[in-house]
Amino acid sequence: MPFLEPDVIKLDLRLVQRRHSTDAARIMHAVSAEAERSGARAVAEGIETPAQARRALVLGADLGQGWLYGRPGALPGAAGAVAQPVTPRPVRELTAATPFGIVATERTVRRGAKRLLLEISREIEARAGQEGEEAVLLATFQEVHHFTARSAGRYAALSGSAAFVGALGRGLGTRPAAGVRGGDLTADDPLRAEWNVAVVGPHFAAAFVGRDLGDGGADMDRRFEFAITHDRALAIRAATAMMARVSPLA
């Protein structure tokens, strides 16, 4: 939802017409978190009884539709005044900003070799598996040869539980691994100089962002400027910069 930025989130009628369940509670928390973050409104459909209206309120809806409020019919000649109009949010402009450029301006930047930074990036990747089916994982690998068979296996496994897993890099293509969406970075994309990992879930968000310092020598000795954030808004901005580069499916 943070990537789509909806003005209104619609709750399926099954959530208000059936008894509460673990799934309904999980959806309620996810919707409440997004509404609190963004100001989005929640509308419940299929409300036919006062009890279902009360259930919709418990689920976080402040708008409703259903036979309780009126049966389908011809529209009136003139519409009445709207007590609580839904005001669309401004459309977010996608820029050429990179995750490192976004985070480094607001967080402390350090330096470290790749062999020391791998554990940091993999810990954030692992959180995608812990967050489960609501999580989004996005990462950049600079060049296709950095997306090793081991990386492909790890990301394919994470795609089995996460909502979305994406990997970007020069020559990576649209399907770099089973269940993983890709993005082939152009030769002049500044993202080719970065190594980034971001996870966004309903209740957790973090990003590791790094910029290659251009060292020669062994791959594991390459140094990066890097920063880490657990600020939700900042992590979402970093992740959105990557999501905008994911190749559309043909």
Domain 1-89 fold is: TIM Barrel (3.20.20)
Token pair 């690998």 in the structure block, residue: 141
pLDDT tens track for 143-199: 999 999 999 999 999 999 999 999 999 999 999 999 999 999 999 999 999 999 999
DSSP notation for 78-135: S----SS---PPPPPPP-S--HHHHHHTTS--EEEEHHHHHHHHHHHHHHHHHHGGG-
66 close to 46: Cβ distance less than 8 angstroms: yes
Architecture of the domain delimited by 99-243? 2-Layer Sandwich (3.30)
**Residue 2 predicted with pLDDT over 90:** no
Residue range(s) of every CATH 3.30.870 domain in the chain:
99-243
The pTM is what?
Answer: 0.79
Query: 64-93: b or e for each residue (b if 16 or more CB lie within 10 Å)?
Result: bbbebeeeeeeeeeeeeeeeeeeeeeeeee
Q: Are 87 and 39 in contact (CB under 8 A)?
A: no
Sign for the CA dihedral angle at 125, 176, 196, 133 comes to negative
